[in-house]
Amino acid sequence: MARRVEASAPARPAAANDRASHGKGWRTGLTLIEPNRILVRGYPLDEVMGRVSYGEAVYLLLVGELPTPAIGKLMEALLVALIDHGTTPPSTQAARTVATSGAPLRACVAAGVLGFGTYHGGDIEGCMQLLERGVALARGGRTYEDVAAELVGEFIARHEPVPGFGHRIHTHDPRVARLFQMALELDLDGQHLKMVRALERALNATRPPDSHIPINVDGAIAAVCSEIGLAPAVGSAMFIISRVPGLIAQSLEEQERERPMRQIDSSAVVYDGPKERRLPGTRK
Amino acid sequence: MARRVEASAPARPAAANDRASHGKGWRTGLTLIEPNRILVRGYPLDEVMGRVSYGEAVYLLLVGELPTPAIGKLMEALLVALIDHGTTPPSTQAARTVATSGAPLRACVAAGVLGFGTYHGGDIEGCMQLLERGVALARGGRTYEDVAAELVGEFIARHEPVPGFGHRIHTHDPRVARLFQMALELDLDGQHLKMVRALERALNATRPPDSHIPINVDGAIAAVCSEIGLAPAVGSAMFIISRVPGLIAQSLEEQERERPMRQIDSSAVVYDGPKERRLPGTRK
Amino acid sequence: MARRVEASAPARPAAANDRASHGKGWRTGLTLIEPNRILVRGYPLDEVMGRVSYGEAVYLLLVGELPTPAIGKLMEALLVALIDHGTTPPSTQAARTVATSGAPLRACVAAGVLGFGTYHGGDIEGCMQLLERGVALARGGRTYEDVAAELVGEFIARHEPVPGFGHRIHTHDPRVARLFQMALELDLDGQHLKMVRALERALNATRPPDSHIPINVDGAIAAVCSEIGLAPAVGSAMFIISRVPGLIAQSLEEQERERPMRQIDSSAVVYDGPKERRLPGTRK
Amino acid sequence: MARRVEASAPARPAAANDRASHGKGWRTGLTLIEPNRILVRGYPLDEVMGRVSYGEAVYLLLVGELPTPAIGKLMEALLVALIDHGTTPPSTQAARTVATSGAPLRACVAAGVLGFGTYHGGDIEGCMQLLERGVALARGGRTYEDVAAELVGEFIARHEPVPGFGHRIHTHDPRVARLFQMALELDLDGQHLKMVRALERALNATRPPDSHIPINVDGAIAAVCSEIGLAPAVGSAMFIISRVPGLIAQSLEEQERERPMRQIDSSAVVYDGPKERRLPGTRK
């Protein structure tokens, strides 16, 4: 008998069920472990080390094949884009709060990951589904403007926000501009990026000029992930992967610099890190 | 009044307490967030994207400065080395078990991170502390062999295993050999790597020839992390960062290929992924 | 702007939004903490201790008022009913798997709680919503049989299981019979219990006699929780509250009796606890 | 080879290792599950329901035998004592922070449980070990005063706090007085309670009169749990069991009353629940 699947769980197509394990034996296609031998998607892990970037290895593991060099560069940029976002996100606050109780680092990270709820990183998957639907409609012969107007209209009629648009803090998120610029330079500026911009125009055509709702970083990541062929569940997972070092750095800073059991009021934080600085010339 | 700290929590030196927040104001030196501006350790994040690898960005965030290019390459290799290790580690089993209940991906990842207990990844921090102690003793004028024999003797006298040695599966872990080779090629083969090899010799000098205990991947990572200047808590965190894509890939595969609520018996798994294959020539 | 809510998150009625905090001040109606004074829902906690059972205190905290003595007895029975269910549920397997890595008890419990996914305890909330809908329809003047046939028909048409029916192991779950008997004896056998039985009849009227689908423990708990006035989100939470001691007992047994890092195969477990025994006569 | 155990993990005596599973078969002594049959520690669960309180069932599951009626009453009082403590504990803040991201209730509870770090509930286990050591010394013929002075002296010499003494908020915690009064009335006021009071006198004999350090609720729970025969790991677990309804109530209130993604400043909370009220006369 079929069972119901939580909204956020991956869909379970008939084909997948046909492949499901029967009896005790079951299968994995990810990693082969034998004594002194580790293959990830068929490649010996020691051969991959030093020859494939981490972003490329993440793509290999999650998609099954090595990416093109251009996609590999975009994967690394995606991971860098979300590595930390200061002290205010719920994920970071959850990690710091657990850290203040004296818990081990693993517990801080786990609590932080649990703080990626519907309202925090949850737009990536929904925006990817929206973009895929839009691109499919456009492939049927309609213009991007026409499709985008219809899709935006649906959300407005339901009084729901369009996933991937609007941010608590940034009106022109520097990560968004940079991701789109890189996609352009790497010749990865295809239908999904065209669609997300069409949606932005359609959404703001309905609004007064002084209340522009920009593409947010979830929306930009959704567009780029769709463009490079990631499934929506995988695109959404990129946020978790990327932010773990941020959760770790924030938890370690909490335990190094603050007294235990404090009440964390994020409105009272003062940045005392390095002043703005430029990358060395060799990096540009 | 001072309070006790869990063994796995970072020590809290007097200097750190002096810097602790008083009253409501508190400080962060990691990331500055202002409208349309994000600085990580002083660098604009959009400038970092595409110019700094993810491994370098992790180093920047956790250590505070950009690494040298050689250290950056080793950081990427470290992250790749631990990206997945099949279906048997407790972290992976915990993630798959939560996945089989139909839980969202975030819950699977959090449960997986909680499965990095004392016996699973827990050796990195202890081995780094051991290596730091050994290197400090050797700097005092004693030979590495002499220091290593003393340190190993302490563990044997307490009937405790030496952290960083011995593995459930691998006797010659291919990741260990590759990490040491890369450290050599990148000219990062210094005192801590010398010490871990001295410990291996000292440990096995006490054992019959057919029961060699090798450096395990925790030990190799500990040596390399110490060599490139990471603190023990940060070295230990590298395992968590690296393995999150593995937890995600395994959880997604569980939900795509298997029926819900199954009993997972890891001894019954069959690998049906790609046969062993080589990297394309351009990668070598 | 309204935001989307995950299926499992509580609905956010307009009235709740009107009460939402503005600016920095916010409110709680649960517990007042002042130096040397603790009020839970207005009652001094020290006065409650020893005079109110834990099940009654849970009701007080979650509902806001003390229950009647009959409801209090049913609350304790509900909590007892789910206290443990052996080694096979995903929640228990997740807790044991984390325990085998040497993690602290808190981490085992947290992983266990994360293992309560859609397919495991997730039916309580859905069944409560179904029962509330059915009772509302019946109050409009239709017979329970008529309403139940319509509701069951909807699930069958969508090829979805009816929440609260069918169990992996039990065809006549002893907890179900006992809960219904207690509800009858305590005069708490009202409309929601009537409706769940009507649904059972309607569901099985569509099936061959040898494939009876029984009310499961989720369904029985849903009916009883609806009957005593718990909201669906609270009824669902009863499962979590009740099972935590089971997660703890299983994790402690894992760490006391088994070797670390073992592969847990739940099909190979043997029960070696006490033989079946009766409660002492004074308990009956 | 023996492996190291995290400080908070239960010790693994040789006897336990001897009992460890070999090969695939392994054993559980907790709960027997067969179709239509559930035994907890040998008792049919349906027979236990309605005849044994939840506190008694927790004791049965964790200790292996039914408690005496007096111990059963104290178990319920212990569970009630810790059911909630307002909005400021790290566990509650972690749960609310995850709730504000729109996460499901399970994720909120798991994050809350992870917030029980060293500094928050962590004193119960340490205090129980201290009391057991003290009682063992007193059984050797020394006076409680003499033993307590020696034990307190050790902590003072190490500049460490004595576990179970001192509280952030309460100087005369009402839960402590009530627990001790109940233990007295139930004739459970034995050696461990005598020892905790001796420790309080010895600790404060070293301090000026205006800086009295009281027994805190962790210390009172430790004394009572030791008195009724719980192992330290089990006593410590009582805090987790008891507080889960508090984590749930706080998370549900957060999602019902507050806007998503808010910054939680616990210093700005206002209590708007019922005014102080008395239990109905029938409860006294």
Contact B117, C102 (CB under 8 A): yes
Query: How large is the average pLDDT for residues B97-111?
Result: 97
Contact at CB, B54 and A55, closer than 8 angstroms:
yes
Residue D19 has pLDDT above 80, yes or no: no
Residue D105 has pLDDT above 60, yes or no: yes
Contact at CB, C91 and B101, closer than 8 angstroms:
yes
Contact at CB, A264 and D93, closer than 8 angstroms:
yes
A112 and chain C in contact, CB less than 8 A: no
CA distance C143 to chain D (A): 32
d(CA C125, CA C11): 13
Average pLDDT along chain A = 90
Of D93, D101, D264, the CB nearest to A118: D101
Which pair of structure tokens corresponds to residue A92? 């970071």
ipTM of predicted complex = 0.91
Strand partners, B33: B38
Q: What are phi and psi of A43, to 5 degrees?
A: -90, 135
| Number of cross-chain residue pairs from A and C with Cβ atoms under 8 Å apart | 58
Question: Which chains are adjacent to chain D, needing at least 3 Cβ pairs under 8 Å?
Answer: A, B, C
Return the pLDDT at A119.
86
CA distance C41 to chain A (A): 23
Which pair of structure tokens corresponds to residue C114? 């994360």
For residue D27, what are the CA distances in angstroms to C102, C268, D22, D80?
Answer: 19, 8, 10, 33
Q: What share of chain C is helix, strand, coil (3-state, %, to 5)?
A: 55, 5, 40
Question: Which chains are adjacent to chain B, needing at least 3 Cβ pairs under 8 Å?
Answer: A, C, D
Contact A58, A214 (CB under 8 A): no
CA distance A10 to chain C (A): 12
Average pLDDT along chain C = 90
The string over D12-50, giving b where at least 16 C-beta atoms fall within 10 Å of a residue's C-beta and e elsewhere, is beeeeeeeebeeeebbbebbbbeeebbbbbbbbbbbbbb
Return the pLDDT at C82.
96
| Number of cross-chain residue pairs from B and C with Cβ atoms under 8 Å apart | 115
Return the pLDDT at C120.
84
Contact at CB, B117 and C110, closer than 8 angstroms:
no
Residue B143 has pLDDT above 50, yes or no: yes
Query: How large is the average pLDDT for residues D80-96?
Result: 97
Contact at CB, C103 and D245, closer than 8 angstroms:
no
Query: How large is the average pLDDT for residues B176-196?
Result: 97
Beta strands in A1-90 (DSSP E): 26-28, 31-34, 37-40, 43-44
Contact at CB, C4 and A126, closer than 8 angstroms:
yes
Contacts of D283 in chain C (CB under 8 A): 51-52, 66
Return the pLDDT at B30.
98
Q: Which of D118, D129, D152, D160 is the mutation pick for testing B, counting most B CBs within 10 A?
A: D118
Contacts of C244 in chain D (CB under 8 A): 240-241, 244
CA distance C73 to chain A (A): 33
Q: What is the pLDDT along chain A (284 residues), one digit of tens a residue?
A: 333 323 333 333 333 333 344 446 899 999 999 999 999 999 999 999 999 999 999 999 999 999 999 999 999 999 999 999 999 999 999 999 999 999 999 999 999 999 998 888 889 999 999 999 999 999 999 999 999 999 999 999 999 999 999 877 888 899 999 999 999 999 999 999 999 999 999 999 988 888 899 999 999 999 999 999 999 999 999 999 999 999 999 999 999 999 999 999 988 999 999 999 999 988 87
A118 and chain C in contact, CB less than 8 A: yes
Of D3, D107, D166, the CB nearest to B106: D107
- D82: helix, strand or coil: coil
CA distance C231 to chain B (A): 22
Give C73-109 pLDDT, tens digit per residue.
999 999 999 999 999 999 999 999 999 999 999 999 9
Return the pLDDT at A24.
60
CA distance B277 to chain D (A): 34
Give B7-66 pLDDT, tens digit per residue.
333 333 333 333 344 446 899 999 999 999 999 999 999 999 999 999 999 999 999 999
The string over A261-284, giving b where at least 16 C-beta atoms fall within 10 Å of a residue's C-beta and e elsewhere, is bbbbbbeebebeeeeeeeeeeeee
For residue D266, what are the CA distances in angstroms to A97, B184, D97?
Answer: 12, 52, 11
For residue C137, what are the CA distances in angstroms to C204, D5, D32?
Answer: 21, 58, 41
A126 and chain C in contact, CB less than 8 A: yes
B261 and chain D in contact, CB less than 8 A: no
3-state secondary structure B199-223: HHHHHHHCCCHHHCCCECHHHHHHH
Return the pLDDT at C282.
82
Return the pLDDT at C73.
97
- Residues 197 through 226 of chain A touching chain D, CB cutoff 8 Å: none
- C193: helix, strand or coil: helix
d(CA A55, CA C117): 30
C272 and chain D in contact, CB less than 8 A: yes
Contacts of D268 in chain C (CB under 8 A): 24-26
D111 and chain A in contact, CB less than 8 A: yes
Give D208-266 pLDDT, tens digit per residue.
888 899 999 999 999 999 999 999 999 999 999 999 999 999 999 999 999 999 999 98
Q: Cβ of A140: how many Cβ atoms within 10 Å?
A: 8
Give B234-271 pLDDT, tens digit per residue.
999 999 999 999 999 999 999 999 999 999 998 899 99
Residue B2 has pLDDT above 60, yes or no: no
Query: How large is the average pLDDT for residues D155-174?
Result: 91
- Residues 157 through 186 of chain C touching chain B, CB cutoff 8 Å: 168
A101 and chain B in contact, CB less than 8 A: no
A266 and chain C in contact, CB less than 8 A: no
CA distance A141 to chain B (A): 33
Question: How far apart are the two ends of chain D, measured CA to CA in Å?
Answer: 58
The amino acid present at B46, given as its one-letter code, is: D
Q: Positive or negative CA dihedral for D6, D7, D9, D13?
A: positive
Residue C18 has pLDDT above 70, yes or no: no
- A10: helix, strand or coil: coil
Contact at CB, A102 and B179, closer than 8 angstroms:
no
Contact A35, C147 (CB under 8 A): no
CA nearest C59 in D: which residue? D245
CA proximity to C68, closest of C187, C215, C218: C187
